[in-house]
Structure 1
């Protein structure tokens, strides 16, 4: 049976870096591409980084039951995991790795309790997390303020998941993530 390895954290904690490393390390893993209504960033590719869709398309997919989980993360900015994405990857015989926000992680775990492991990536401190978000320079001041407020909320979810991975030293965090993955996938 294929498994779901879910990495979650506030934005800026390092989950994407860890997920990319695991994808390069374990050929058994495939990335679950989320759907979103947010604008595509210059370096992103549709169907690779995200499925970029309109709000109208997103709402239709909600209404038709097309999402395993979805969330209006910020006002009029929706993110979700498509049933078709999970089905596609499982049909390929792959284990699926997710890079997802905390409420989505909670909902996937509820939908697939036996098949999933949720890893919360913990930043060294709130101050370091907020500094990382500011240093990205990818947001307007208003958007950054919303992201920081949401990150502060999401830190409270730390003990809601199966495993907490401290991302204080990247090399240590990557090695620990590899071990968690090996153990979970029985490799």
Structure 2
């Protein structure tokens, strides 16, 4: 897929990157939309999470996860070096701040696939002002169940658990900047692309604006005194 011109509002203009958070109940289409975003703009990168669990066969440290010992993970949390973190099924997971901060200062956007709790932590972090959060809703609960079944990835028990969890996730929809109902994948992606393009132009994302306004002011003063 060719990246359109409007995706290239990038480092040439000195912009800061965005922390793009996508959340949804399982089956609402979040992963597909994330892949489409990355096809649209290949400079987008997923945030590589840190975890204390052991690597699974084929997983590469620094690519799939950053694999840390529990003491090392807890030290990062204590030092305020994690954007968000959680304890899940006996292991810790989190998003280290340093690589994300380096990326956004270089004008590169970072994509996060996290739940509402992680999204809230990032919004409340020191990088919160550079965050764009989008929640994806299904068109209906029957359609959500149909999508989970049609994927063919989970058995009836797992699907039932995912459906039970979905309502808790949906109940936090109002904590996001934007909410999209994914009733048509192509149309939803176009709306998401429009949102990302516009958010890249927000004032906090353009650090060179203040200097430009100062130059305009100086030119104005020079013109009035000439």
Fold agreement, TM-score > 0.5: yes
TM-score normalised by structure 2 residue count: 0.67
Superposition pairs of residues 81-92 of structure 1, within 5 angstroms: 81-90=95-104, 92=106
Unaligned runs of 5+ in 1: none
TM-score normalised according to structure 1 size: 0.79
SS of equivalent residue, structure 2 residue 172? helix
Contact 1:10 1:102 in 2 (8 A): no
Give the 3-state SS of the residue equivalent to 2:171 in structure 1: helix
For residues 133 and 58 of structure 2, what CA distance do their matches in structure 1 show?
28
Count matched residues: 186
CA distance in 2, matches of 1:38, 1:133: 27
CA deviation profile, 1:124-150 (whole Å, cap 9, x unmatched)? 122322333344444466554443322
Residues 48 and 128 of structure 1: CA distance in aligned 2, closer, same or farther (over 3 Å): farther
Structure 1 match to 2:185: 170
- Inter-CA distance 184–160: structure 2 relative to 1 (3 Å threshold): same
Q: Deviations over 1:79-130 (max 9, x none)?
A: 3211133134235431222221111111111113321121111111223223
Partner of 2:145: 130
Q: Secondary structure at the match of 2:95?
A: strand
Deviates more, 1:56-65 or 1:83-92: 56-65
CA distance in 2, matches of 1:93, 1:178: 17
Deviation, 1:43, is 8.7
User: Who wins on radius of gyration, i.e. which is larger?
Assistant: 2
Counterpart in the other structure of 2:108: 94
1:104 alignment partner, one of 110, 114, 118? 118
Q: Decide which structure has greater strand share.
A: 1
Aligned twin of 1:150: 165
Structure 2: runs of 5+ lacking an equivalent? 1-15, 203-226
Equivalent position SS for 1:94: coil
Cα distance in 1, alignment partners of residues 170 and 182 from structure 2: 13
Cα-Cα RMSD: 3.0
What is the distance in 2 between the residues matched to 1:127 and 1:41?
Answer: 34
